[in-house]
């Protein structure tokens, strides 16, 4: 992943554009991105439990065998915006000291349902301080720079402003994270990060990180982020963190699912 442009106001406030090579992109799509979309850790646990049940006398049935086969099938069929969200989480975890402990697929009642509140809800560590992270992700092949998903009525600019001016929206997201830590032991990393993030959030002044991630499959252009960042930095005031990231992928959107579903040895 190569940095091609940036503006660094501070560790917490910046915009950066990165270009990825094809091999790196393929590895992400077939590795961390696919694992995120499938929630592989949870899927593996459920599959092991069903297989164990199938081995017990009296439990084998057509329904049980069909469900085992369904969990063994790792074919991914999702919309590209979901691939983009998974890609953003992978990059943020690998390169930006972010942590996402809970896969929101576990909350889905409808497999095609959309997330509510924010695309990204987790934690980021800056200079040893843990902050809540709230973010939005957009995917765009639009040739104009910046694309409408940055500047439109439901674009990243608008969504980050809304998160900044609405403490109620942030509190709902914090309560969501809290609900996932309730039964964890105090030493669990998720619970430790939550408690540290909560202290930062209610410190004086309050502190948290906003992040917007733009996924592109066209030529890079600094205007994708620079214009939006220039407007947002005047409205989202310090010490609140503001990061905009653009990831330029060499593989077009229409090919993402085919690559994710390629059989690899």
- Give the residue with greater pLDDT, 199 vs 50: 199
Residues 197-236 pLDDT 10s: 999 999 988 899 999 999 999 999 999 999 999 999 999 9
Confidence at residue 171, expressed as pLDDT on a 0 to 100 scale: 96
Tell whether the model's pLDDT for residue 64 goes beyond 90: no
Share of the chain above pLDDT 70, in %: 92
Residue 53 resides in a domain? no
Residue 55 resides in a domain? no
Residue 63 resides in a domain? no
Residue 217 resides in a domain? yes
* 265 pLDDT tier (thresholds 50, 70, 90): low
Residues 106-122 pLDDT 10s: 776 555 555 567 999 99
How much is the mean pLDDT over the chain? Answer: 91
Confidence at residue 264, expressed as pLDDT on a 0 to 100 scale: 64
39-43, 121-125, 141-145: lowest mean pLDDT where?
39-43
Question: E strands along 127-202, which residues?
Answer: 129-140
Give the side-chain half-sphere CA count within 13 A for 164.
Answer: 21
68-82, 109-123, 173-187, 246-260: lowest mean pLDDT where?
109-123
Residue 75 resides in a domain? no
Distances 228 to 15, 163, 242 between C-alpha atoms, Å? 10, 16, 11
Beta bridge partners of 241: 209
Tell whether the model's pLDDT for residue 247 goes beyond 70: yes
Residue 199 resides in a domain? yes
Q: In what order do the strands lie in the sheet with 209-216?
A: 2-8, 13-19, 241-248, 209-216, 129-140, 120-126, 98-99
Strands 2-8 and 209-216 come out as unpaired
What is the extent of the structural domain holding 144?
A: 2-38+80-260
Q: How many domains does the chain have?
A: 1
Residue 29 resides in a domain? yes
Residue 248 resides in a domain? yes
- Give the residue with greater pLDDT, 67 vs 200: 200
């Amino acid at each position: 992943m190569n940095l091609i442009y940036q503006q660094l106001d501070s560790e917490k406030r910046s915009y950066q554009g990165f270009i990825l090579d094809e091999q790196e992109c393929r590895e992400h799509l077939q590795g961390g991105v696919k694992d995120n979309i499938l929630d592989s850790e949870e899927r593996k646990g459920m599959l092991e439990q069903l297989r164990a049940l199938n081995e017990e006398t009296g439990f084998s049935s057509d329904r049980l065998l069909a469900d085992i086969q369904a969990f063994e099938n790792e074919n991914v069929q999702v919309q590209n915006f979901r691939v983009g969200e998974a890609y953003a989480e992978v990059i943020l975890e690998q390169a930006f000291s972010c942590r996402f402990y809970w896969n929101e697929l576990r909350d889905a009642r409808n497999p095609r349902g959309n997330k509510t509140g924010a695309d990204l809800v987790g934690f980021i560590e800056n200079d040893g301080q843990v902050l809540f992270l709230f973010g939005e992700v957009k995917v765009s092949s639009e040739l104009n720079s910046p694309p409408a998903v940055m500047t439109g009525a439901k674009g990243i600019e608008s969504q980050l402003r809304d998160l900044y001016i609405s403490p109620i929206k942030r509190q709902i997201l914090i309560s969501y994270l809290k609900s996932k830590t309730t039964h964890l032991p105090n030493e669990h990393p998720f619970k430790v990060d939550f408690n540290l993030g909560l202290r930062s959030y209610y410190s004086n002044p309050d502190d948290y990180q906003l992040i917007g991630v733009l996924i592109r499959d066209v030529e890079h252009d600094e205007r994708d982020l620079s214009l939006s960042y220039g407007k947002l930095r005047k409205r989202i005031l310090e010490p609140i963190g503001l990061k905009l990231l653009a990831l330029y992928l060499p593989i077009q959107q229409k090919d993402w699912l085919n690559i994710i579903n390629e059989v690899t040895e």
